[in-house]
Amino acid sequence: MARRSASADGPYRVSKGRPEPFGTTADERGVNFSLFSRYATTVELLLYRAADAAEPFQIIPLDPAEHRSFFLWHVFVEGLKTGTFYTWRVHGPDDTPATGRRFVPHKELVSPAAIAVTDTLWDRERARDPTDESRTSMRAVVADASFDWEGDTRLGGSLEGAVIYEVHVGALTRHPSAGVRAPGTFSGLIEKIPYLQELGITHVELLPVMAFDEQDAPPKTLAGGLRNFWGYSTHSFYSPHPRYCVTPELGTHPAEFKTLVRELHKAGIGVILDVVFNHTAEGGADGPTINFKGLANEIFYHLDATDRSRYRDYTGCGNTVNCNHPLVTWFIVRCLEYWVEEMHVDGFRFDLASVFTRGEDGQPMANPPLPWSIAFSRVLSDVPVIAEAWDASGLYHVGSFPGMRWAEWNGRYRDVIRRFVRGDPGLIGEVASCVSGSSDLYADDLRPPTSGINFITCHDGFTLYDLVSYNGKHNQANGEDNRDGCEHNLSWNCGVEGDTDDPEILALRRRQAKNFMAILMLSLGVPMLLSGDEVLRSQRGNNNTWCQDNELSWFDWNRVETEAAMLRFVKHLIGLRRRHPCLTRNSFLTGKPVPGRKLADVTWHGMRLHEPGWDDPTR
């Protein structure tokens, strides 16, 4: 039986609602809301008519006797339509040092399961102030989840034969030369699908597209007109990022992302998402309250055992998600399943995935629940999962990431091939292992060559052209006096640091870039190339452009013509790889005769026939 809301001027009647499904569900009768908070004492739902409305038009208090089932708070708002904006206020104990509970009842929170989030009024500095009561939070919008997929299905689970293209949604089309109708959006990327098809790649790996905080940057960085551009600062794991949408104020986030996926699938291109479940945008003790801190701080984050107001930071980002708490594992797996079932995503790459191996005490576990739960999920059973198999506090799992089916970014491959191409001696044996699929890392555990994602460059570090043009990083534009970014670049500038008009050096750089690309495309395993490397895109020696939403990061489409020779070379290499099964085989080379033939599957030679020179320290 519906009852009148406790809000005196509220137009909508409410009823008990249901705890499942988690988040917001709209139908012809109204909207069901469900929110997780174990220790909350009372909860309020605030409804707004617009993303920038100064005041809510209705505040709905939830009586725990009626609107709580175990740890889930729920309410059904009758007659409510899609397009309504909402936040939550959550009351509970604030005894952080002892228990880690951190309720701030005057702060408005955005639902962790919101499928469409706006940041129109968002102010990170105010959100950091526990005494500030202004309405400057993120806001969720009740979105229409229906969509015409036109018969689309996901592209299948194997990475055998895959060629991955790592790309930033905004950077690909924000340059004026892109010539798209909606630069920097999912829609803009759709207009570049013909280019991706012609290049020959099989999958795009999108840098974070889940809603993130662009204001999550040091004050000096923000004061210089920069912002968090890469997106490794997620706050709403179910929502596409509003800036990548054309009309986020209308709650079209799901439809716009689904359209991108559908059109990529029509072109035969799979979609892998780079996801960030190791930390959130809420930072440490001095960070803002967005959602998790004000709902379940004591569960969701690793906290210091002696003072639970302090956050353990294994990520270098202020906090660490407590991934192996049962409820957090449930949240992450459910979220991944949503992106597969609802959004038709084909795979995931997990940032700093070694965090997934840390137990609730922060120590590494031999059999951590989260990686196994992902592997055993029925929905995720045929979905490629790729680990960045390290974290920021010393864990390194390349070759040993726990769980079944996991592939790994092969950081050893990157380092060995970089050293080899720049001329370091004594690497012949390691190079042979790398180009033949890194069997020394994977074969003993019965893992195939596709367990290794081979790469020379990625978003994090030098571009391919900068790798052959700079000996050291040049990150002054980031506003941190060149202190940021990796020092371990294994690069060689070919004789001059940075720009030059010397034709011999320019020719050498192009030859070195081609050497890198050829080795990558002829190696067993799964190759991944960084967007723009096929046209020798440069970041002027900046190896950490996380905050550079400008021409330093953008894809300059003029280079498709000016670097046509390099582009043609890369296309031919990709085509060669995809045409020849011996380059995409998913079993390791043995040196033994192929069944039905007298020839071995591989023979090794050096400067002389049958003399590979494994022990030659000069090669």
Three-state DSSP at 554 gives coil
Which is nearest to 159 in space by CA: 285, 417, 424, 346?
Answer: 346
Q: Of 71, 44, 45, 33, give the one whose Cα is nearest residue 299.
A: 71
In the chain, the N- to C-terminal Cα span, in Å, equals 81
Report which of 16, 18, 10, 30 is spatially closest to residue 81, judged by C-alpha positions.
30
Calpha distance 391→315 (Å, rounded): 6
| CB distance 407 to 453 below 8 Å | yes
Residue whose C-alpha is closest to residue 342's, from 19, 21, 17, 18: 21
206 DSSP β-pair partners: 167, 273
Q: Rounded CA gap, 99 and 94, in Å?
A: 9
Nearest to 137 by CA among 287, 291, 240, 254: 291
Active site residue 484: no
Contacts of range 493-496, beta carbons closer than 8 Å, 24 or more positions apart: 493/468, 493/469, 494/468, 494/469
Catalytic residue chosen out of the listed positions 44, 216, 282, 388? 388
**Taking each helix axis from N to C terminus, what angle separates 292-300 and 326-341, rounded to the nearest 10 degrees?**
120
Q: How far apart are CA 389 and CA 411, in angstroms?
A: 9
Contacts of 360 by beta carbon, 8 Å cutoff, 6+ apart: 302, 322, 324, 325
Give, in order, the Cα–Cα distances in Å from 258 to each of 79, 247, 263, 343, 345. 27, 14, 9, 6, 9
| Concatenated DSSP letters of 369-418 | HHHHHHHH-TTTTTS-EEE--B-TTS-B-TTT--SSSEEEE-HHHHHHHH
Residue 415: alpha-carbon gap to chain centroid: 22
Alpha helices in 162-270 (DSSP H): 169-173, 186-190, 193-199, 219-223, 253-266
The DSSP code for 72 is E
In degrees and rounded to multiples of 5, residue 408 shows phi and psi of -135, 145
The C-alpha atoms of residue 133 and residue 107 are separated, in whole angstroms, by: 6
Contacts 24+ apart (CB under 8 A), 594-603: 602/436
- Three-class SS state of 467: helix
Give me 211's structure tokens.
């809603």
Which of 282, 351, 391, 430 is labelled catalytic? 351
Question: Would you call 430 a catalytic residue per the annotation?
Answer: no
Distance of alpha carbon 426 from the chain centroid: 36
Instruction: Print burial letters for 112-140: b (CB count within 10 Å at least 16), e (below 16).
Output: bbbbbbbbebbbbebbeeeeeeebbbbbb
> 155 to each of 192, 380, 452, 461, how far by Cα in Å?
20, 13, 20, 30
Residue 353 to residue 275: CA distance in whole angstroms: 10
Gap between the Cα atoms of 303 and 508, Å rounded: 52
Q: Which residues form the catalytic set?
A: 351, 388
